[in-house]
């Protein structure tokens, strides 16, 4: 974010600080201290017990990927369940292996207005430690009124560009 104009950088830093405050209030006991990073507005880091876990709060214009099935493969460590957020918003709560069969990450995804929202707490790959946050805990964070206010703001005033995929990789 260092190359952004001062006013835009300030806007995004304010968004990050508010998101970190909401996540610390709702996930702090499970994830430890959550702080923004300077790489991009969507990236945060949680530190607990000597481990560092990547945290993502991504609100970006729709990418056309909504409506995907919610499959389960518990034997492979992959679970997906559907849940409801305030206002009747349908969400998916996913726990799945990340970068290794032995480390799990936790995601909550949903659509809001014209945006796709992705919240996640990943594993500490270096330590081989899975996400300290359960799907239910991350779902509770997604239900937090302050976080939903930030999602609403980011939908109306985008903080990320629409994801672009390149066919064929």
Residues in the chain predicted with pLDDT less than 50, given as ranges, are 166-167, 169
Compute the half-sphere exposure of residue 142: CA atoms within 13 Å on the CB side of its CA.
33
pLDDT of residue 169: 46
Instruction: Residue 16: name the closest of 139, 153, 115 by CA.
Output: 153
Q: What is the pTM of this model?
A: 0.91
pLDDT of residue 66: 58
pLDDT of residue 166: 46
Enumerate the β-bridge partners of residue 108. Answer: 93, 119
151 vs 76: CA distance, rounded Å: 32
In the predicted model, what is the mean pLDDT of the chain? Answer: 91
The DSSP symbol for 148 reads: H
Instruction: Residue 107: name the closest of 87, 125, 121 by CA.
Output: 121
Please give the angle made by the CA atoms of 151, 134 and 78, to the nearest 5 degrees: 100
pLDDT of residue 67: 62
Q: Other CB atoms closer than 10 Å to residue 93's CB: what's the count?
A: 23
In the block, residue with structure tokens 């239910």: 136
164 vs 155: CA distance, rounded Å: 17
Instruction: Residue 156: name the closest of 40, 61, 42 by CA.
Output: 61
Q: How many residues would you count in the chain? A: 169
Please give the angle made by the CA atoms of 66, 69 and 71, to the nearest 5 degrees: 140
What H or E segment, with its residue span, contains residue 1? none
Enumerate the β-bridge partners of residue 116. Answer: 60, 111
155 vs 151: CA distance, rounded Å: 6
């Amino acid at each position: 974010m260092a190359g952004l104009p001062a006013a835009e950088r300030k806007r995004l830093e304010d968004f990050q600080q508010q998101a970190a405050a909401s996540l610390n209030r709702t996930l702090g006991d499970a994830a430890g201290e959550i702080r923004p990073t300077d790489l991009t507005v969507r990236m945060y880091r949680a530190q607990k017990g000597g481990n560092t876990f990547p945290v993502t709060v991504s609100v970006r214009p729709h990418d056309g990927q909504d409506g995907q099935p919610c499959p389960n493969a518990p034997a492979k460590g992959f679970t997906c369940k559907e849940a409801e957020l305030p206002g009747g918003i349908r969400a998916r709560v996913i726990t799945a292996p990340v970068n290794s069969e032995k480390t799990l990450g936790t995601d909550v995804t949903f659509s809001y207005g014209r945006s796709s929202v992705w919240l996640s707490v990943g594993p500490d790959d270096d330590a081989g430690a899975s996400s300290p946050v359960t799907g239910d805990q991350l779902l509770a964070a997604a239900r937090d009124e302050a976080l939903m206010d930030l999602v609403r703001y980011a939908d109306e005033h985008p903080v990320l560009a629409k994801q672009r995929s390149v066919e064929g990789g």
